Amino acid sequence: MVTSTLPKPIPLFPTQDGIKGLALDDYPEVKTFLEAGPSWRMQHWLWALDFLKYIARSKSEHTYSRFRNETERFLIWSFVVKQKPIDNYRKADILDYADFCWQPPISWISIGSNDRFLLVDGYYKINQDWLPFRLKRHKNEEQTPDKKRYRPSQETMAAMFTGINALYRHLMNEEYCYGNPSQVARQDCPHLIKDAQVKEIRRLTGDQWSYVIKTAENLAAKDRKYERSLFVIATLKTLFLRISELSERKTWIPEMSHFWQDHDENWWLKIYGKGRKVRDVTVPTEYMQYLKRYRLYRGQPALPSAADNSPLVEKLRGQGGMGTRHLTRLVQDIFDHAYTAMARELGAEKAKKLKEASTHWLRHTGASMEIERGRELKDVSEDLGHASMATTDTIYVQSETKKRAESGKNRTVD
């Protein structure tokens, strides 16, 4: 197969909102592509549409996007590369697809993400900048990365198999297919490596965190628009939150009323987390100064009430709460300012992690620091929303790894 001769791929499915009431006539280029191929091409697209509608009904937007991406890539490859119905696939066919994903043609790789469709004159036209594979630009990269460097991570390859497996299981349940070749193929895929490495927590050091919070405080003192950024930074780290748990979603809007006080005057925050589970996170006394400061900046009473349904983090413009992308930008801006200050005062080497840090590092930083201070693992685990203390131990404590490292120090050369 000469990949350089492959046609330019086109997207097949819209966003979670778009797929619920999808009319193929609104996507004329997709319709033309499907009708130009063998009859099974349209049939497979309808099968996948049925699967993705099921995902859209029962899962979050993030989960839908993951399954949409994997399903779409698999179908595009099947349509224009393999040119074979997926209900006739065997293990070897799935392994061929895994090889393709491991080293896709450069012409199918984009730098960064692009929307699939653009609304033009009432119809959804294909965005010519969209491609099925994406090479991420790292935060500290100034030059455009070379597409030849593209190599999927183990997590990406595992996600590919997870997506195909879920598609085939759905098709089997609907009696469209009578076998699932992805399960057997996964066991024999040479690109999947069993990982027994020691995991390093992606977190900030004490000094780095100190620069982050002080930078946010200094910026807020000079320009009040940074009060929102200071509140977000302090909340993510101190309350161990994921960025999605602070953002407005279709099924949940974080409100000030979600802060509540029990009969013993302890403060809690109600959080809607992964797996559509609601949990209550303990709110430390020291954190309350940031909550009060932010509310006063917004012209509200210092403490929230049960009737206060204002968004936890309001939008920069318009009504409602902020989404994940906007919140991420606020945090990354503080990281950039903190890096500049720390690099200037302590050197770039000590500050370099701030170039790599993401919003999730704040959750890891807060939980790790609490465990190091001696807080009970069970309490930290419940605030994190982990189903098991073993998960918290594996990620943050790594007790067995520490014992192994300590014993390893005593080895001798003689």
pLDDT at 399: 52
pLDDT score of 197 more than 60:
no
For the chain, what is the mean pLDDT? Answer: 90
Tokens of 235: 């909340």
pTM beyond 0.75: the answer is: no
pLDDT at 389: 79
Instruction: Give the tens place of pLDDT for each residue, 208-247.
Output: 999 999 999 999 999 999 999 999 999 999 999 999 999 9
pLDDT at 60: 80
> Where exactly are the structural domains of the chain?
3-138+148-188, 206-405
Specify the long-range contacts of residues 185-193, CB closer than 8 Å, at least 24 apart: 185/91, 185/94, 185/95, 185/98, 185/161, 186/161, 188/91, 188/95, 189/95, 189/98, 189/157, 189/161, 191/98, 191/99, 191/101, 191/102, 191/152, 191/157, 192/154, 192/157, 192/158, 192/161, 193/154
End-to-end CA distance of the chain: 55
Tokens of 342: 């720390």
143 or 197: which leads in pLDDT: 143
Residue showing tokens 């029990």: 262
pLDDT at 268: 96
Q: How confident is the model at residue 398 (pLDDT cuts 50, 70, 90)?
A: low
Using DSSP, state whether 269 is helix, strand or coil.
strand
pLDDT at 140: 57
Q: Max alpha carbon distance in the chain (Å)? A: 78
pLDDT at 402: 57
Q: How confident is the model at residue 387 (pLDDT cuts 50, 70, 90)?
A: confident
Instruction: Give the tens place of pLDDT for each residue, 64-110.
Output: 999 999 999 999 999 999 999 999 999 999 999 999 999 999 999 99
Instruction: Give the tens place of pLDDT for each residue, 14-63.
Output: 999 899 889 999 999 999 999 999 999 999 999 999 999 999 988 888 88
Torsion of CA 96, 99, 103, 105, to 10 degrees: 0
Instruction: Give the tens place of pLDDT for each residue, 96-155.
Output: 999 999 999 999 999 888 999 999 999 999 999 999 999 876 665 567 778 888 999 888
C-alpha span between 386 and 393 (Å, rounded): 10
DSSP 394: I
Topology of the domain covering 206-405: hpI Integrase; Chain A (1.10.443)
In three state form, how does the secondary structure of 180-237 look?
A: CHHHHHHHHCCCCCCCCCCCCCCCCCHHHHHHHHHHHHHHHHHCHHHHHHHHHHHHHH
- Compute the average pLDDT of residues 161-178: 94
Q: Strands, E, within 86-150: which ranges?
A: 109-111, 117-120, 123-126, 133-135
Q: What percentage of the chain carries pLDDT values higher than 90?
A: 71
pLDDT at 406: 65
DSSP 6: P
pLDDT at 3: 47
